[in-house]
Amino acid sequence: MTETLDSSVAGRPAAATARTAAAHITVLADRCAGCQECVVRCPTGAIDLDPQTWTVVADDSACVGCRQCERTCPFAAIVVDGPVLVEPRASLGVHHPQLLAHDRSETRLGISNWVEALREAARCLDCPDPTCVRGCPAHNDVPGFIRAIRAGDLDEAHRVLRRTSVLPDVCSRVCDQALQCEGACTWSLGNATPVAIGALERFVCDNAPVPPVERTGTAGVGMSVAIVGSGPAGIAAASELASADAAVTVFESGDEPGGLLRWGIPDFTLPEAVTRRPWEALQAAGVDLRCGQEVAAGELEALAGQFDAVVLAAGASTPLRLPIAGGDLDGVWDATRFLTEAHAALAAGTDLPALQPRRPPADGGPGDPAATVLVLGAGNTAMDVARSARRLGARAICVDWMDKKYAPVRPDELDEAAAEGVEVRFSTTVARLEGVDGHVTSAHLALTRQRSAQQRPEVLAGTTTADAVDLVVTAMGYRIAPELAEAAQGTPVAKTTGEIPDRRWQASGILANPSPGFARRQPVGWLALGREHGRAIAGAARRDRMWVAGDALVGPSTVVEAMAQGRHAAQAILRRQPRRPGRTQRPTARVLIAVDTEAGPTGRAVKVLAECLAGDGVEVRTLALHQVTANQLSWADAMVVAVASRSGGRLRQDASPATRSWPAGLPALGAMPVGLLCTYGVSRGRALARLRREIEHHGGQVVTENAIPRRLAPSQRDTALRSVAQAIVSRCVRAPVVSGPRGA
């Protein structure tokens, strides 16, 4: 039953009001506009529209209390009270071996049988506008693959996942789902426990055979692409391009492919057999993998001369180090070195020589039976280091200067580490390291205080104590090599959240619950928007015929983010169809016309220009300046910026202030050809000169500049616009040259 009230006298019941056994929906009639946002998003059919009053009505008996209607109503006309009616989430066990030494078996257990899988799949509401899909950086069709599980069809579930994810078996194990798909689940946004999406994804991948790389199109025929790096971004780009029948060559500096997946994640979290799967499939599909071949930043230009396109997908491999006294002692390692050597030792069943105790006994006895490893950091990598050290017989201590309640760490990983004997000390930092004969032997640790998540921790005076250590491992994060960042022009790029891609993001309700409890009180909606921005800019070339994805683009990122960006970069390459000089260029082109106003002379000029371009076989999109996004730029081969020059202060002629500030928000244009067009009454003033500087600053190549007086005769105007069109087309469409198959 629906309770319909006037908002002037109705509101949310007081906290002391007794809650009934069922959810209850209150509609504030004077606020309801009959927009039906709630009707189309209700997953249970509990909301309907009264055609007489044009306001919504609801059936409490069908309501499960998910509160989608409450979150998505643009007029705050719906209030839902009562419990959330959902079955308990599946209990996912953790395996800690009784004998930890050299044990590489997986710690986290997935769903083991069909009964559990079907019970968990039944918790999914199959939402009409699923926020979990937006929470997933890869945009996996979560309801779709769960629907296939319900039907008992694992092959179909796998096919659904593979449409958007190259690494579902990997991501299901290593993703922090609480901040992604599960944190954005309708149940989570309604402050309940979400569907165990990651566990269901793993169940599919562990019980259905991994399909080979399928040929899904021919857009890549005749194109050769080089990919630098074989981590998640490189894997995704290679798979997308190989599926389109492009000739793909991957350059990997290490002896084996996989990047972070191979050396950065231990087997007890990600088994080596799972890590190998994608490369086995890619090599079977014809991808040319060249290990042991490092591509330096200075060699990227030469590589672009050998291939039609280049994807820079190198991982962030330069470790961050604390600038402290003693940081240069022997026995101070970075996490990369430790994880690589620990991985080899665990695989071979041998000890790690660096973990032999070096400290002399305190009383003349035999000394400590185990080495002590001090790990600087308490994030994912730090936990991997510490837990690997425990499997190699060492005592492990992690220190992090942040307060535990503010630190961005996964509670499940902390629990797993604690169960294995790892000691984690928050609000603690290293003041200095000391050694004997050049090797580290002690760490002086100080306490810190942090008053809020936004505040930098402060070191408390007089709290320093000394701990004996045999090895210190820095695990505080990584950055991309400076020379590669310079080659990629302006990276890393911040994952900003100022731009909402379309109103459906707002209407979906993902932004309405700022910080669900399951998501560790993190703003899952805004985090998703930031990842969406990173994915979008991966589709725009950073330099001529060079795309960047993953760590090389946005700095250290998650596996699924890097994978999504690599796939998006490959899709942009297939759309753009780049060719190195002297090779065949496709006969059509796409031109984006960005205009500050579609009224008056500028609007008329843009219309004629679009007709001229279309007459040359060019696909044209016309958008207002503020509508130009990274996704739109990744679609286009060239851009025309059309503005009007107006009178400013002291009668100076210039573009409007909004137009002048517009280029500052553009991503790198990657040598994109750009035409500038200005209409004016008295003078073009500084409009074209300003735009040229800004466009060139963002990497664009201005190929033509034209200023058209408002009183120009139509025939003269059309002639001028034809010259603009010809200049743009000549840069987008090159004369065909005969070339062999598969990028020869």
Please work out, in degrees rounded to the nearest 5, the angle formed at the alpha carbon of residue 446 by the alpha carbons of 445 and 450.
135
In this structure, what token pair is assigned to residue 589? 């082109």
Q: Which residues of the chain have pLDDT under 70?
A: 1-21, 358-369, 497-499, 501, 584-588, 647-652, 732-744
Decide: 327 and 433 in contact? Cβ < 8 Å: yes
Residue 669 CB contacts under 8 Å (≥ 6 apart), including other chains: 540, 541, 633, 639, 695, 698, 699, 700
Closest by CA to 560, choosing from 258, 256, 151, 168, is: 168
Phi, psi of 497 (to 5 degrees): -125, 20
Number of C-alpha atoms within 13 angstroms, CB side, residue 484?
A: 26
Residue 267, pLDDT score: 94
Q: Which fold has domain 3-81?
A: Alpha-Beta Plaits (3.30.70)
Of 3.40.50.360, 1.20.1250.20, 1.10.1240.10, 3.10.20.30, the CATH number of 589-732 is 3.40.50.360
CA 674 to chain centre: 29
Q: Which of 434, 421, 378, 384 is nearest to 401 (CA)?
A: 378
Domain 224-314+487-491+542-576 has CATH 1.10.10.10: no
Fill in the DSSP letter of residue 637: S
Alpha helices in 186-271 (DSSP H): 186-189, 197-207, 232-243, 260-263
* 584 class by beta-carbon count within 10 Å (0-12 exposed, 13-18 middle, 19+ buried): middle
The CATH superfamily holding the domain 332-479 is FAD/NAD(P)-binding domain (3.50.50.60)
Give the pLDDT of residue 584. Answer: 62
Q: How many CB atoms lie within 10 A of CB 229?
A: 31
Cα 641 to Cα 183, 355, 419, 707, distances in angstroms: 40, 62, 60, 12
Tokens representing residue 567 in the block: 């796939």
Whole-number pLDDT of residue 742: 37
In the three-class reduction of DSSP (H, G, I as helix; E, B as strand; rest coil), residue 646 is classed as strand
455 contact partners, CB below 8 Å, separation of at least 6 = none
pLDDT value for 734: 45
Q: Other CB atoms closer than 10 Å to residue 646's CB: what's the count? A: 18
* Residues 6 or more apart whose Cβ sits within 8 Å of residue 625: 594, 595, 596, 641, 658, 659, 662
Number of Cα atoms under 13 Å in the Cβ half of residue 675: 31
In single-letter form, the type of residue at position 140 comes to N
* Model pLDDT, residue 464: 93
Of 220, 211, 80, 223, which is closest to residue 155 (Cα–Cα)? 211
What would be the CATH architecture of the domain defined by 104-212+499-528? Orthogonal Bundle (1.10)
- Residues 282-331: tens digit of each pLDDT: 999 999 999 999 998 889 999 999 999 999 999 887 778 778 899 999 99
Full 3-state SS string of 81-95: ECCCCCCCCCCCCEC
Q: What is the pLDDT of residues 329-376, one digit of tens each?
A: 999 999 999 999 999 999 999 999 999 876 555 554 455 568 999 999
| End-to-end alpha carbon distance in the chain | 70
Interatomic CA distance for residues 598 and 722, integer angstroms: 19
For the chain, how big is the Rg over CA atoms in Å? 29
Rounded to whole angstroms, the Cα distance separating 377 from 354 reads 20
Kind and range of the H or E element at 274? helix 272-284
Do the domains 332-479 and 3-81 match in fold? no
Q: Could you state, in order of their start, the residue ranges of all structural domains in the chain?
A: 3-81, 104-212+499-528, 224-314+487-491+542-576, 332-479, 589-732
- pLDDT of the residue at 720: 82
